[in-house]
Structure 1
Amino acid sequence: MKVGTSTYALFWTWHAGPGRSGDLPETDLRGLVARGADDGAEVVQLCDHPDVERQSPEQLRGLRSFAAERGVCLEAGTRGVDAEHLDRWLDVCAALGSPLLRSMLPASARDPEGFRAAVAGITRVVPRLEDAGVDLALETYEQVPTGTLVDVVEAVGSDRVGICLDPGNCVAALEHPRDVVERCAPHVRNVHVKDFGFSRQDGWVGFTYAGAPLGEGLLDLDHLLDAALAVRPDVTCVVEQWVPWQGDAAATRETEAAWNARSLAVLTAQQRRRTPALAP
């Protein structure tokens, strides 16, 4: 088991607050990598960050060297499964030294034509995945039923194509997290760890589904890790967070930073508990 954090763990660190486009902080990719290293991450997943695709191969290799100096490995993340798109991102993986590319199926994969297109696009890049030693991990999320995602992975039929398991995303599609974990575990290549919970809206009309500090919400962390590690003992477990807006940028980012450090500490404790002691 490897412990990591991600751009989605530090979302407000590089995003403006609601309706406040001028509030965007000056936190670049190196800053995010440094934050992960400072908080004890072994891996930092650069997922859906626009600067990754904007940088040249030389800049990405420089980022890789910077991360290595801080004792951190990098993983890459994008969205989409068109062969040309995945091929470009495999170039990114090569520059970053990433052994994994997280991506997401389009919502159209729910339909027969979209399903066939997704399988065809992924299948076209399988030879390059195999040559590069990179795993493509397709994330569970609410716009594509878990059964459809599993069917795509099994239709491609490559050991280099699997699932990025994030059970919290699927609650919005009324899928139970335990069911998602058990359905996807045989194909797991990456795990996104974020806690979550429900709270009553003011006036008791409706609920809010939002993040919670790891260990304080509804995520069954032991079940998630037991299932994933039984298949992939060396899988990277990457912190993600849904930190609610706290009213202003400073308070929100302070909360986010505290949650990230706490989550990494919880996962590191799990790592130590689950790693067999070395023989003397």
Structure 2
Amino acid sequence: MGVVSDTISNDYDHAASRAAAWGLPHVEVFSVWDRPVIELNDDEIERIAAISTEHGVTVSNLATLIMRVPATDAARAEQLQQFDRAVEIAGILGLDRIRCYAFLKEPSLDSVWDRIIDALNALLERARGANITLLLENSSYANVQMATESRAVLDAIVDPRLQLLWDPGNAFALGDPTPTVEAWHLLKDRVAHIHLKDSVAHGSNHWVPLGEGALDLDGLLAAITTDGYRGIVSLETYFDDPDPAVREEKTRISAENLHRAIAACPVDTESA
């Protein structure tokens, strides 16, 4: 099990210590010390590595915003340069996975489809040389949101270095017509990492602690257990509360609820 560090705190030392205490040994780094991880210098990245070792957690992937930009030639070129820096950071941290997106949301997926495929293939060309796997996340901010859209991209690019960072909570909150468990079965052959969050209802982005909303968490855990999923399930709980202490407490509750749900539906905790 894991967590995105800044859903606990932007202070990485505090985030890593809480992740360890809550039984979430795999930590994703996105925003650290109030800056995107891609903007940190080498000394700061090495500090992340040292803090992780100190608290007994591992960094699971580099949660960048690569290609979460407008679908323009200029933005694409700049993102390819950022990806080169992400590869350098991954090397310092000993990682082989970097998150990416399918450009910022446009009114029509069809209108940017070719640009998305071209951009992902350009990233893959760089990724192959660096032994990096791309984790494409479905997101409300990007053009790939629903299960069928994720499947379409995976079918268009068969390279196994492109995997899905599947966020069923994002799809659920967006009103994805494919139920969560059905979506898992549609996507499971290319899911390498799972984000977990919960909302009060299908089609709502009113976020609540995991297990306290309407997402079919129990059904999902049962499905991934039955199918032998070997990746990480990771909390990504971005709450709207202005008080960071309240946001942290809701993430702690989410971790507690996830442990309870897993105990009721056992999974291989070494891989989870």
TM range (shorter): 0.7 to 0.9
Aligned residues: 249
In the superposition, relative to structure 1, how do residues 265 and 174 fare at CA in structure 2: closer, same or farther (>3 Å)? closer
Alignment match of 2:232 (pick from 227, 232, 236): 236
Distance verdict in 2 for CA 1:48–1:158, change over 3 Å: farther
Q: Show the counterpart of 2:42.
A: 57
1:55 Cα offset (Å) = 1.6
Work out which of the residue numbers 242, 259, 272 in structure 2 matches 1:268.
259
CA deviations 1:184-224 (Å, max 9, x no partner) are: 3332111111121049xxxxxxx964112222111111232
Residue 191 of structure 2 corresponds to residue 188 of structure 1: yes
For residue 258 of structure 1, what is the amino acid of its counterpart?
E
Correspondence 1:42 to 2:25:
yes
The whole-number CA distance in structure 1 between the counterparts of 2:269 and 2:48 is 34
CA distance in 2, matches of 1:153, 1:277: 28
Aligned residue for 2:66, secondary structure, equals coil
Match of 2:211 among 208, 215, 234: 215
115-124 or 176-185, which moves further after superposition? 176-185
Pick from 76, 82, 86: which aligns with 1:85? 82
User: In structure 2, do the counterparts of structure 1 residues 244 and 53 end up closer, same or farther at CA, with 3 Å as the change threshold?
Assistant: closer
Q: Using CA pairs below 8 Å that are at least 6 residues apart, which structure has the higher relative contact order?
A: 1
Partner of 1:72: 57
> SS of 2:7's equivalent?
coil
Q: 1:212 to 1:172 in 2, by over 3 A?
A: closer
Q: Which runs of 5+ in 1 are unaligned?
A: 15-27, 200-206
Gaps of at least 5 residues in structure 2 are 68-75
Partner of 1:203: none
Aligned residue type for 2:159: S
Quote the Cα distance in structure 2 between the aligned partners of 1:213 and 1:73: 24
Amino acid at match of 2:65: R
Partner SS, residue 79 of structure 1: strand
1:136 correspondence with 2:134: yes
Give the alignment's TM-score, normalised by structure 2: 0.77
Q: Which residue of 2 aligns with 1:149?
A: 150
Q: CA deviation at 1:236?
A: 1.0
Alpha-carbon distance in structure 2 between the residues aligned to 1:232 and 1:8: 29
Letter in 2 for 1:114: V
Instruction: Tell me: CA distance 1:90–1:227, structure 2 relative to 1, closer, same or farther (3 Å).
Output: farther
State TM-score, norm by structure 1: 0.75
Question: SS of the residue aligned with 2:200?
Answer: strand
Task: Specify the SS of the correspondent of 1:233.
Answer: coil
Instruction: Quote the RMSD (CA, aligned, Å).
Output: 3.1
1:60 CA drift (Å):
0.6
Query: Does the 8 Å contact 1:163/1:188 carry over to 2?
Result: yes
Offset, 1:110: 4.6
CA contact (8 A) 2:225 2:266 kept: no
The 3 A distance-change label for structure 1 pair 277 and 254 is closer
Q: Greater CA deviation, 63-72 or 139-148?
A: 139-148
Do the aligned partners of residues 239 and 277 (structure 1) sit closer, same or farther apart at CA in structure 2, a change above 3 Å counting? closer
Q: Tell me what 1:29 maps to.
A: 12
How far the C-alpha of 1:161 sits from its partner, in A, is 0.9
Deviation at 1:112, TM superposition (A): 4.3
Letter in 1 for 2:56: G
> Is the Cα–Cα contact under 8 Å of residues 110 and 148 in structure 1 kept in the other structure?
no
Q: What letter corresponds to residue 73 of structure 1 in structure 2?
A: T
